[in-house]
Structure 1
Amino acid sequence: MTRDLIVFGEDWGGLPSSTQHLIRRLQHQRKVVWVNSIGLRRPQLHWRDIKRAFCKLTARRSPNPNQPQPESTPRIVHPRTLPAPRSALERRLARELLQRQLAPVLHQERLHRPILWTSLPTAVDMAGCLGESALVYYCGDDFNALAGVDHDTVSQREQELVQRADLILAASENLAARFPSARTQLLPHGVDYHSFASPAPRAPDLPNDGRPIAGFYGSLSQWIDIELLQQTASALPHWHFVFVGQPVVDISALQRLENVTFLGPRPHGELPSYSQHWQASLLPFRDNAQIRACNPLKLLEYMAAGRPIVSTRFPALSAYPGAVSVVDGVDDMVAALQRAASTTTLDSQQQLASQHDWDRRADQLEQWLESL
């Protein structure tokens, strides 16, 4: 009989992470209890953290078991606990708070020999407390290089988690190399191929002034090379540069340019209406530890959309030779975009992306979980 899952991940919903893509497929054969984010740092006294804390404190602890839930939604728990506890006392208190909240849910669900899956190192204190039969650590990021994280605390918890985990899943070769090879499997990100390759109508707010469009979607964070983008957009006034996502860094240098448009965040299901209809997809990353360890979800989504991809250099691109125009500066990016302006849909690129569908990733994952 297939074992059930207790999953510690980010907050369910919004832009889906790799963990959510995988769990949506795994839950067809097993029960899943999903615990929303328990945090990777202590909250601070600024508006974003205050708003997030309020939402968590006022959220239901879990859905009403008598109220039907969407088929694609697991049983969700909204935890009330201490984020990223440091001292032994704080850790014990946080563990006890979570145990009290999870105990009735796990009793109601009657899980069969559950596997404890965590994508967050801070959940290591729950190992051995929930009656699990095995412990899986899914590592999708270099937490030591991730912005907005209590690095010392998270690094210590990750070391403990690696020691205790029965199976470690790493999203990139860079990450996999850090863990014991005997218990580690490489599980690169996949793609919801049908959603991104099936023709989608053009988004009504996508600029349509006759200029070719270079587009990007995702968070405009510390790993985005704003200076490179500003210089490239200035050199190509006959191009339009469109950004779909939430800016969390200073973008004033780009906002001053007439040919740059910021559209704000959009639901994940609407992204093909943008990426299929611009002339080039951008991956303008800085060269830092986080990017060297990353395997960005949007890379395969861009490929499935079939538009040329222009990217700065990072290791994960080596898995897709010839599929991406790799640039090393402004001149390279300008030249790559000019070539992309006359390029039609790239069928070979889409065919390559189809080999990495999330369904294939989930099938491989099923084999590893059953062998634990």
Structure 2
Amino acid sequence: MKNKDLIVFGEDWGGLPSSTQHLINILAQDRKVLWINSIGLRQPQLSLHDIKRATGKLTQFISNQINRLANQTQPQATASESDNIRVINPATIPAPRSKNARFIAKHLLIKQIKPVVEEMQLNEPVLWISLPTAVDVIGHLNESAVVYYCGDDFSALAGVDHSTIAKREAELVNKADLILTASQALAKKFPAHKTSCIEHGVDLNLFSTPVTRASDLPNDGKPIAGFYGSINEWLDTSLLIDTAKLMPNWHFVLIGKHHIDTSELNAIKNITLLPPKAHHELPSYSQHWTVSLLPFVLNEQISACNPLKLTEYLAAGKPVIATAFNASLAYTGFVQIIKNPYELAKALMVSYDEQQQPEFANCLYQRIAHKSWQHQASKVNQLLGAI
């Protein structure tokens, strides 16, 4: 029986891949996928970031329309990593609040998406929604079923119009035939009879295959505690600063985009901030530092999250130290859990000795060997086949 095609409402394609992108890349091996770039989780503000983002989307939309008129073809869609995936960048009203704005946004989306659906000749497409703001297109794209993939607790996620998203999510949960969540904590929010938890997988080959050391990683013989990801308010910067002061002979390397003031971090001599790296470059850091860190502030978002980097860290074979949150506690015995700078300093010293054990890296690998993205995608495939 032929697998049903997918219409996916997700984040913007590219950059550091989300769990949705990892899964869809595999599911697209034997089905066609139309990927709709982010339609937003909040209304734009007069910030430089939002203006640049809106300008980019508008420029792409105008370019597509010019190409369409010049070639007299359907709206343009760009290829992605897979020949079976098409990506479009629609113009719409992000996270509309009023009834009229929702009506306009819905029809803008349908008008841009439907011609591409027809051109691709999608087979009984399943509508896969990772952003609740797409709920209004349900029933208008000839879909055979609706999947809600919930990778975050939107009620606690920073930079989101919480009131609007909560209402759209409630509607989506009611209309969805299947709900998939990235953590057990998220699964508890939804009706059990149609909810399944698909925990994050890992690209085992990418993170466990030895690679050369990154040239900008400190290399003076001192041990390194490393982190990659968003430098945001949920990162416990006070914990890192205090520990760095306690451990002057260690380097603390943070890789990622800054969303907060990092002046206090920059002021510490043995803390190094590096810019974001491409996903495929990350093993050249995580395989060569001494210990991987997950130093999060415990809040609602972190309690519900299942960070992709946790299994990636384990696959890289280095000791992992984390603050206590649901996902990290699930790996007790493989991840050292700490509460304060003194416990973190002690854990760093233990980790330095741990990794000298010949079977240590293989032990970590075996803990997550069954969690490849291929394995997780096969679970999703079975669930899709049942709806």
Q: What TM-score do you get using the length of structure 2 for normalisation?
A: 0.93
Take 2:253 and 2:86, find their aligned partners in 1: how far apart are those partners?
37
Take 1:82 and 1:245, find their aligned partners in 2: how far apart are those partners?
29
Q: Please list the CA deviations of residues 229-279 of structure 1 after superposition, one character each: whole Å capped at 9, or x if unmatched.
A: 110111110000111101111121111011011111010000000000000
Take 1:98 and 1:286, find their aligned partners in 2: how far apart are those partners?
38
Take 1:53 and 1:338, find their aligned partners in 2: how far apart are those partners?
47
- Which of 93, 104, 107 is the equivalent residue of 1:82? 93
Contact 1:24/1:73 (<8 A) preserved:
no
Take 1:68 and 1:102, find their aligned partners in 2: how far apart are those partners?
15
Cα RMSD of the aligned pairs, angstroms, is 1.6
DSSP 3-state at the match of 1:13: coil
1:316 is displaced (CA, Å) by 1.3
Aligned to 1:262: 273
Aligned to 1:52: 53
Take 2:20 and 2:261, find their aligned partners in 1: how far apart are those partners?
30
DSSP 3-state at the match of 1:219: coil
Take 1:247 and 1:322, find their aligned partners in 2: how far apart are those partners?
32
The answer as to 2:188 corresponding to 1:173 is no
Q: Show structure 2 runs of 5+ residues with no match.
A: 68-74
Take 1:271 and 1:129, find their aligned partners in 2: how far apart are those partners?
41
The answer as to 2:52 corresponding to 1:37 is no
Take 2:133 and 2:77, find their aligned partners in 1: how far apart are those partners?
31
Q: Please list the CA deviations of residues 303-323 of structure 1 after superposition, one character each: whole Å capped at 9, or x if unmatched.
A: 000000010000112332311
Aligned to 2:118: 107
Letter of the aligned partner of 2:228 in structure 1?
Y
Letter of the aligned partner of 2:177 in structure 1?
D
Aligned to 1:306: 317
1:338 is displaced (CA, Å) by 1.1
Aligned to 2:368: 353
Identity %: 52
- Which of 131, 139, 142 is the equivalent residue of 1:128? 139
Take 1:67 and 1:141, find their aligned partners in 2: how far apart are those partners?
27
The answer as to 2:380 corresponding to 1:369 is no
Q: Please list the CA deviations of residues 67-102 of structure 1 after superposition, one character each: whole Å capped at 9, or x if unmatched.
A: 876536710010100000000100000000001101
Letter of the aligned partner of 2:339 in structure 1?
D
Change (3 A) 1:43 1:237: same
Take 1:165 and 1:68, find their aligned partners in 2: how far apart are those partners?
28
Letter of the aligned partner of 1:54 in structure 2?
T
- Which of 327, 343, 347 is the equivalent residue of 2:354? 343
Letter of the aligned partner of 1:248 in structure 2?
H
Contact 1:40/1:154 (<8 A) preserved:
yes
Contact 2:79/2:86 (<8 A) preserved:
no
Aligned to 1:19: 20
Contact 1:32/1:74 (<8 A) preserved:
yes
1:136 is displaced (CA, Å) by 0.1
1:342 is displaced (CA, Å) by 2.5
- Which of 224, 228, 231 is the equivalent residue of 1:220? 231
Aligned length: 372
Q: Please list the CA deviations of residues 279-316 of structure 1 after superposition, one character each: whole Å capped at 9, or x if unmatched.
A: 00000000100000000000000000000001000011
Letter of the aligned partner of 1:14 in structure 2?
G
Change (3 A) 1:59 1:348: same
Contact 1:24/1:72 (<8 A) preserved:
no
Aligned to 1:251: 262
Q: Show structure 1 runs of 5+ residues with no match.
A: none
Aligned to 2:72: none
Choose 202-211 or 318-327, whichever is displaced more: 318-327
Contact 1:232/1:333 (<8 A) preserved:
yes
Q: Please list the CA deviations of residues 182-234 of structure 1 after superposition, one character each: whole Å capped at 9, or x if unmatched.
A: 00001111101110000011001101011100000000011101111110111
Aligned to 1:318: 329
Q: What TM-score do you get using the length of structure 1 for normalisation?
A: 0.97
1:62-77 aligned within 5 A: 70-71=81-82, 74-77=85-88
Take 1:177 and 1:147, find their aligned partners in 2: how far apart are those partners?
21
- Which of 267, 287, 307 is the equivalent residue of 1:276? 287
- Which of 284, 294, 297 is the equivalent residue of 1:286? 297
The answer as to 2:168 corresponding to 1:153 is no
Letter of the aligned partner of 2:378 in structure 1?
D
Contact 2:80/2:87 (<8 A) preserved:
no
